[in-house]
Structure 1
């Protein structure tokens, strides 16, 4: 590409740093993590989360293991203010979790922010002031001296208001916003001034967050900026250096990792890289990068598929199938040479071996993924396109994750049989895997019952040569069926599609479910002229598949629950 104006853009200037030490260092421990999904992530969504969804996401973040969570900009809206109040008043905050809230350096916003935190056990008040010349000159029209004075007066006000709430343990975070495009000397001076105004000490540290608000250069330049600050801050020993990287150049994770080498101790970001513009540092990717180097990230990603599906549901943003670690296809090989190498690597593994399998940087099982979809059949490997044949020959358009799951069964059949698998054999295999399951649970019939606030179902099933009559109430027939079965099942997705037309038209229903005590998720499929019947059949199919996946003890426990119902 030849720009029409060659001098329209100019290269980012080098950092005045000699004898840099970060290139010789390695990361040996996880940083302090802060999730900003509920603040930066939320304001980046097409439709901001409603209070119930916000609470679900907050609880999800605590289960993953985040100990610091930026929950809102409470002075920005009544919705954000009320959410902070509900977290505190309704005791949703675990004792080991600290909430953080954001505010500009403006008196009325700070007062409103501090009001929102009344009664909190511990809270981080995060204030920011832009220090980049272009922002000071064109946006805020303030001199550097005026910006420092504004920040210092804001800190003094926070100290005064905090003193009036002595039951709360207060921490302060300051961000020289647009640090990545700021004069380093000015960023240093304002950070030291804030530390002095707060009275920061080595025992009561100020969090100094140095954000790449806009990613302007290569990650090594950002690392130089962080090392320069760590060397030159007057009150460095009384500070926790934090970073908040954005992904404008596609290197947010790399920049955050190099920043840790350069002296940073804390990382802010979002699940799966959500955030404004191109997003924030992806904390899932960064945490698992540490994990693959033998470092405990302190975050629990052992059920990564469930985490991804829940994040997709809440945010409305899909996790790309090629997303590092979490994508549906990242552990799937289509190339014949890749398939061969993976097979040989898996066959060579012995119990207790260090993980060293070609093309797989992490053991999928560590993330709650199975091995079935590692090697898949498609036209690239000479065994035919499973999804294509199922659609063109049988009208069955499978959800993408079901394609991945079913291809494992196809691969096993292909390995046992050798040669091609015909379209007819493919359908027979699909029916065996999903439609003809008769044990242990056999669908015998159902009757819907209308209720004022939902829908009930009277369900008849066969179990151990006995007939059971079950009933349940839910917001629809699927939810009612799940309640009728009385098992600890979680429904993650539901889809329905027509598979034929005319008088003999049938519908296919697909459910993706998990069960407590059973590792991973699986699909159930139902096919029937009636879509409600197809949906109930899909739930029964899924339960039978989950019970087949369960250990003997869990299976026995679940069967007893069914009999008790």
Structure 2
């Protein structure tokens, strides 16, 4: 690409090494979650939510388990003010949920913010001002000290109006555009704000360090967080919060490494909705932790319900490849993947496994309301015999012999390739029935009767060319006798007969299914299947099906 030389890094590494986080293997507990869907998320929508929609979204967030929810910027618009008042006046805020409101460092805005909070039990008042080099030079045209003065003035005003307003208020400060700010300068601003607020054990303060614009690789953000965490005043009485955006596609990595580096709280949105490429996706973050055996303290057990509400209220769509939640994220089309998943599931059944280790599936799809049928094994021209057989077994209880699975797999793939589409489960079953089950041309099975002396003897009634015929066969068993009758009448021969059968466990349990494979003189194997309430009759129908397939192909 051209013009690459006009770009340079806009971030600042800490002046001293901050790499202790690299010695940690994993996150060990869930952070405090704060949803900013109703502020950052809502302001990024083409059509922002109206009052009723925001009320419904708030109730969804409560149901999912969020204990801190940023409800908006009440001094910015009447819609946001009215929404906050509706929450308070209609008693919609549970006692264990804290709402958060945003304010700039301007007195009339801070005053209206506290007016909007009258009657609430508890709230976080979130003060912010932008501190980056680009914002200072290009937008505000102010010196470092003038930017500090804005933050300090706002901190004093929050303390003043909180003292004059009934309720329990926690303060939060964000040096907005933190990632583009000199780290020592960001530390100085935060510490000056903290000196005004004087956090204590009973009254902690939130310091929020946002990647307002993601500018660096995730390890840089982690180093910035660790540097701040180790040098902030009153550290034991501070809740260090992260607010990653996703400009570089690293929002999740920024949050995870930031938590290793000292972060204790995460602000984000469902599905990562937000300005530009969005905020960090809390669902992905939480389920990443879940996949490591950590309780995320949020409930995503019915993901389709959540998606439905989210898409209806935001008019946004969840991408098919969105981690955990997209329609295709558990889907396996590749034959080798399908085979591994099917064998992994079978291994779990046989070994009563304590932990989830199924190949290609990071978590059990059922834990978030997904189904194996239709969600995991998806059939198209790239699919393999293992996956196709697995679909039949899970949905219809059919346990095909291995070689028959291979034969059927090729037939299904050919249909999918010819039609250029994915095949649904019912379509796959229809192909199976058409290709193998109770095939009755050119010879239709009617009935049979056995007698036994030294050998088994059978009389078989068939229909061929629209006429009923009686055949006689002899063998060392009933099945062998029927086979002898068929070969004699049709003038054919075959060997290497393979036979399996089982009860159908899905649908009517009184039915039996049999599978038979025969090998023609030219070495081609033909498969047939029979289904009947009588196990012997089902095996006879399977034999007729295989013989008919061979006859039709000669």
TM-score (norm 1): 0.69
- The answer for the alignment partner of 1:502 in structure 2 is none
Aligned to 1:364: 365
Change (3 A) 1:415 1:162: farther
Asked if structure 1 preserves the Cα contact closer than 8 Å seen for 2:127 and 2:172, the reply is yes
Answer whether contact 2:222 2:254 (CA < 8 A) is retained.
yes
Q: From the superposition, tell whether residues 415 and 216 of structure 1 become closer, same or farther in structure 2 (CA, over 3 Å).
A: farther
In the other structure, the counterpart of 1:307 is: 306
Instruction: Name structure 1 gaps, 5 residues minimum.
Output: 393-402, 421-565
Q: Max radius of gyration: which structure?
A: 2
Q: Which residue of 1 aligns with 2:502?
A: none
Say whether the 8 Å CA contact 2:381–2:417 is kept in structure 1.
no
| Structure with larger RCO (C-alpha < 8 A, sep 6+) | 2
Aligned residues: 406
Query: Which residue is 2:64 aligned to?
Result: 64
Higher mean displacement: 350-359 or 264-273: 350-359
State the TM-score, normalizing by the size of structure 2.
0.70
SS in 1 for 2:3: coil
* Contact 1:377/1:385, CA 8 A, preserved across alignment: no
Residue equivalent to 2:43: 43
Secondary structure of 1:307's counterpart equals helix
8 Å contact kept, 1:22–1:223:
yes
Structure 1 match to 2:499:
none
Query: Are residues 1:380 and 2:382 paired?
Result: yes
Compute the displacement of 1:4 (Å): 3.0
SS of match in other structure, 2:424: helix
Query: Is 1:323 aligned to residue 322 of structure 2?
Result: yes
| Residues 550-561 of structure 1: pairs in structure 2 closer than 5 A | none
Q: CA deviation at 1:10?
A: 4.2
Residues 372 and 409 of structure 1 are in contact (CA less than 8 Å); yes or no, is this contact kept in structure 2? no
- Residue 295 of structure 1 deviates from its aligned partner by 0.1
Q: How does 1:211-230 map to 2 (within 5 A)?
A: 211-230=210-229
Tell me the equivalent position of 1:349. Answer: 348
Counterpart-to-counterpart distance in 1, 2:18 and 2:316: 43
**1:241 equivalent in alignment to 2:248:** no
SS for the counterpart of 2:262 is coil
Match of 2:133 in 1: 133
Distance 1:389 1:81 in 2: 59
1:45-66 residue CA offsets vs partner (Å, 9 max, x unmatched): 0000000100110000000000
Secondary structure of 1:6's partner?
A: helix
Query: 2:539 is matched with which residue?
Result: none
Alpha-carbon shift at residue 142 of structure 1 (Å): 1.8
Instruction: Give 1:33 deviation, angstroms.
Output: 0.2
For 1:385 and 1:204, the matched residues in 2 are separated by: 68
* Cα offsets for 1:438-473 (capped at 9, x unmatched): xxxxxxxxxxxxxxxxxxxxxxxxxxxxxxxxxxxx
Cα contact 1:105–1:151 (8 A) shared by 2: yes
Question: Are 2:177 and 2:211, in contact at CA under 8 Å, matched by a contact in 1?
Answer: yes
Instruction: Give the CA deviation at 1:160.
Output: 1.6
Deviations 1:305-345 (A, max 9, x none): 11112111111110011110001111111111111111111
Within 5 Å, give how 1:166-565 maps onto structure 2.
Answer: 166=166, 168-350=167-349, 351-373=352-374, 374-381=376-383, 383-384=412-413, 407-411=424-428
- Residues in 2 aligned to 1:90 and 1:295: alpha-carbon distance in whole angstroms: 35
Mapped to 2, the partners of 1:419 and 1:192 lie a distance apart of: 77
- Judging changes above 3 Å, is the alpha-carbon distance between structure 1 residues 261 and 418 closer, same or farther for their aligned structure 2 residues? farther
**1-structure distance, mates of 2:56, 2:77:** 20
Separation in structure 1 between the aligned mates of residue 91 and residue 417 of structure 2, nearest angstrom: 51
Would the aligned equivalents of 1:36 and 1:70 in 2 still touch at CA under 8 Å?
A: yes
- Structure 2 CA distance for aligned equivalents of residues 269 and 5 of structure 1: 31
Give distance in 1, aligned partners of 2:225 and 2:361: 33
After superposition, give the CA deviation of every residue in 1:203-227 in whole Å (9 maximum; x if it has no partner).
3111000000000000000000000
Report the equivalent of 1:464.
none
Does residue 104 in structure 1 map to residue 121 in structure 2?
no
CA root-mean-square deviation: 2.2
